[in-house]
Chain A
């Protein structure tokens, strides 16, 4: 035994060196959810586009400053704009807008006016209804909305440019400039808009901390003088900061409770801390080995696989507790003897759990592969530590004090064994069965990633208020348009436009934004020019001028200079936001983005994208949602597969009837857990499925421990099971209190599943041995 312990020491030392070496080289922890996708489904090209667009969107913040007093709102806006500009954390702050933005916009479009038609006017000319445009121009000249003067009538006879400009789909159109500041009024309140673009990584904790504290300081200062000032904000940085803050607080709170609870439990039961150290040592060695092996196999690890992996290795606490509980009672022998007593049970427990974890390898998902290898290696590491090291580290003397505790622990056994409780037993079984059936009818699947994270409610309120007041809405979905050159990309966007417009009318999306809506392709400008010349100027201009009395007759200034291209948008143009929609434009090709907002029927958008060559629908949140759904389905199937794979081992040891008995408690736990939590309104997600993987292993452990236990050792076995259950609840069950839905669902399922596995575990024992 000593030699084996030393050998294991060498292996662990080697793993340590390996890990240190890897850490020294620099470990890359992947955080990108799509890295969990099967390789063939990944798309690096689309990925980089997605990263860039989401980067641009994430770095933006919109702030509305409101007050009953217009001058207060404006003073607040100006002060905040100044503070943000001075902070050094913004690339651009837009508060005061140019008074001459009309001029700059007009100046950009005017030279190209004969190639710029609204969709409606294009259709009129195509269908030879040019007379309608003529009538409209005459009505405009006479009518109450006339802006025409002789100069304009000569240069743009049919007032096409005002028509084109008023039909531009300008964003934030609900805001109007008031003395150089975009404002809106709502009841008595005046709101002013401020937009800022960050220059740092909004997901970095340090940057968030600096930005939010600077923002809060300014807000406090302003409130000191203007107590009724309101600030509405929307932006990824606010959500990310609030999320990180609440998660940190929550994790701190839960870990303290969990750690204190575990320490108190061990102290009360063992009156010593040594069992705690032994347990932690076993888990630590397991995680160390797992990490070292995974890094050398995969070269890196996904952070999700790492987190779930550590949880799965945590089950090895069950084996430790079986061993340390064997130290109770005067008849408990020396450490080696205690180990010998529990060895069959924990070996079978490890074997079934290993089969369960290894089954995850069968799915074609890199995330599950990493998870399987990590947790299997870790489990073996922990198990070997328990078997080879713990007897040497443990105290030699048995624990003399535990008579009452052992008796109490044995009560569960009595509940299942004593004839007196027969009715109660059937009552419990019936109750669980009924609740499970009722719960099953309420079971709902939910893979939507947006439901898995808790967005701060206060911020969500502000976002919806901002949407109501301004029409600004956050969205991460977009269409990626690829073409060989820029005009090709614009032409593709034009092909999309009519389809997207009708989707907008159907309510499939709330809106979209593309460059081609503002800058038509050269091909279209050429067509429009021909239409204007052939179907408007030639047939109507002379008589129109005669009718209005334009001096100089048909001497319209109809010369045109080249074509309008996106290059014409200058840095300080009101349209400069459009430049963000051009991702790449070089000899190798062009990539444009069409932003979409408020998608309610993604399927329709997907069909539109498929119908137009060169277009792809990019839906980061949707991709993760599909991924979670796929992982959930696979994980659920794998649970069933792993039960089937475990059976041969159990049949070999217990025969067919015995193995079915052993499989009963875990089966009840796994089948009942999801319906029972559904009764509390918890939907079934990938995270519940992962909890069930754990529940299955836990269930088999408890069942095998009970089955392997000799009647004389039952109280000690039951104590080990009790402790395993309580520590599991303290570490994972507490997660039910999390405000992050995914974690809450995981915790709830594990809580209920573990309790079920525990409650029914004695059923597994052999009735022939005096059940």
Chain B
């Protein structure tokens, strides 16, 4: 009976960011240009999170780097400075240069699995998304809107989401996530630039998924 899993908990911790990215990339693919393997996407974000029972809106902003095959760097600059790095190998959270969270993909295969989805959507294989969500898109190439709704409302993970709404033009502009418990969040993406210059310095180091010695 060696089996079964704490995976759902893990999933909850890890699914949303990746899901979110997957959706972004998916939308990008559906409506805009996909990233090539040697390209990277730099940009800024502003996020507002409305949690029922909290007196204020949790607002954060910062920058992000997305590199196909390598991973994502999500850098919150305000209200506190933190780095979240998602690679095929692990999810890491770094505050003031010290790693306060490290979820290894070898132990939590979910990361690798969703990472595959992310990568898959970058190269055009988004069948995995269709397995979990109903996808409905409206608009044209310059202004579009895609709504994702979970196919299995009683699924312990997808069932916590009411819907994900993504809108954009050439790039993804906004993502809205609505949860069944009434909480919601809104993300806006700004200053997005696709570049073909390889990553250097800290960004390259953070996305280097070889185990650090």
Contact = CB atoms under 8 A, between A and B. Distances in A.
B156 A172 contact: no
B141 interface: no
Given A99-B155, A144-B74, A548 B16 contact: no
B202 interface: no
B14 interface: yes
Interface string B95-126: 11010110100111110010000000000000
B186 interface: no
A644 interface: no
Contacts of B3: 94, 97, 171-172, 182, 193, 195, 574, 577
A136 B95 contact: yes
Interface string B165-193: 00000000000000101010000000000
A143 B156 CA distance: 22
B63 interface: no
A149 B7 contact: no
A154 interface: yes
Given A147-B16, A172-B3, A574-B5, A550 B54 contact: yes
Nearest to B185: A146
Nearest to A472: B2
A102 B82 contact: no
A197 B1 CA distance: 8
A548 B56 CA distance: 7
B9 A577 contact: no
Nearest to B14: A145
Contacts of A102: 6-9, 12, 156
A170 B101 CA distance: 18
B67 interface: no
A185 B131 CA distance: 15
Interface string B1-28: 1111111111011101100100000000
A556 interface: no
Contacts of A92: 1
A165 B9 contact: yes
B156 A99 contact: yes
Given A142-B80, A173-B107, A136 B1 contact: no
Nearest to A98: B4
A142 B79 contact: yes
B76 interface: yes
A173 B5 contact: yes
Contacts of A60: 1-2
B181 A101 contact: no
B196 to A, nearest CB: 26
A248 interface: no
B51 interface: yes
A668 B6 CA distance: 66
A549 interface: yes
A151 B5 contact: no
B42 to A, nearest CB: 16
Nearest to B20: A144
A143 B17 CA distance: 9
A549 B1 contact: no
A145 B2 contact: no
Interface in A135-174: 135-136, 138-151, 153-154, 162-163, 165-166, 168-174
Contacts of A184: 109
Interface string A42-71: 000000000000000000100000000000
Nearest to A574: B4
A136 B16 contact: no
Given A162-B9, A170-B5, A574-B4, A143 B53 contact: no
B84 interface: yes
A173 B108 contact: yes
Nearest to B4: A574
A600 interface: no
B6 A145 contact: no
Contacts of B156: 99-100, 102-103
Contacts, number: 182
Contact of B6 (A133, A146, A168): A168
Nearest to A100: B156
A154 B9 contact: no
B55 A195 contact: no
Interface residues of A, number: 63
A171 B110 CA distance: 14
B53 A149 contact: yes
Nearest to A143: B84
Contacts of B4: 94, 97-98, 101, 170, 172, 182, 574-575, 577
Given A144-B17, A548-B58, A163 B7 contact: no
A50 to B, nearest CB: 19
A195 B2 CA distance: 9
Nearest to B109: A174
A521 interface: no
A238 to B, nearest CB: 17
Contacts of B205: none
A551 interface: yes
Contacts of B140: none
Given A101-B5, A184-B109, A549 B181 contact: no
A150 B80 contact: no
Given A139-B100, A143-B76, A176-B7, A551 B54 contact: yes
A576 interface: yes
B60 interface: yes
A654 B103 CA distance: 81
Contacts of B95: 132, 135-136, 139
Most buried by A among B9, B16, B60: B9
Contacts of A169: 107
Nearest to B9: A165
A607 to B, nearest CB: 26
B54 A548 contact: yes
Nearest to A513: B2
A149 B5 contact: no
Nearest to B60: A142
Contacts of B155: 99
B9 A105 contact: yes
A101 B84 CA distance: 28
B39 interface: no
Contact of A139 (B8, B10, B54, B76): B76
A162 B13 contact: yes
Nearest to B64: A144
Contacts of A166: 6, 9-10, 13, 103, 108
B107 to A, nearest CB: 5
B82 A143 contact: yes
A102 B74 CA distance: 28
Given A94-B1, A147-B13, A195-B1, A163 B101 contact: yes
A507 interface: no
A553 to B, nearest CB: 10
Contacts of A106: 9
Contacts of B106: 173-174
B6 A549 contact: no
Contacts of A503: none
Contacts of B110: 176
A145 B55 CA distance: 21
Given A145-B13, A576-B1, A580-B1, A175 B109 contact: yes
Interface string A178-194: 00001011000000010
A711 interface: no
A105 B6 CA distance: 7
Contacts of A105: 6, 8-9
A88 interface: no
A177 interface: yes
Given A136-B95, A139-B80, A153-B54, 20 more contacts: A98-B4, A99-B156, A102-B6, A139-B76, A139-B100, A143-B84, A145-B13, A145-B91, A153-B53, A166-B10, A170-B4, A171-B3, A173-B107, A176-B110, A176-B113, A177-B5, A177-B8, A182-B4, A548-B58, A551-B53
6 contacts: A99-B155, A132-B98, A150-B52, A153-B54, A550-B53, A577-B2
Q: Which 4 A/B pairs are nearest by Cβ-Cβ distance?
A: A150-B53, A102-B8, A574-B4, A577-B1
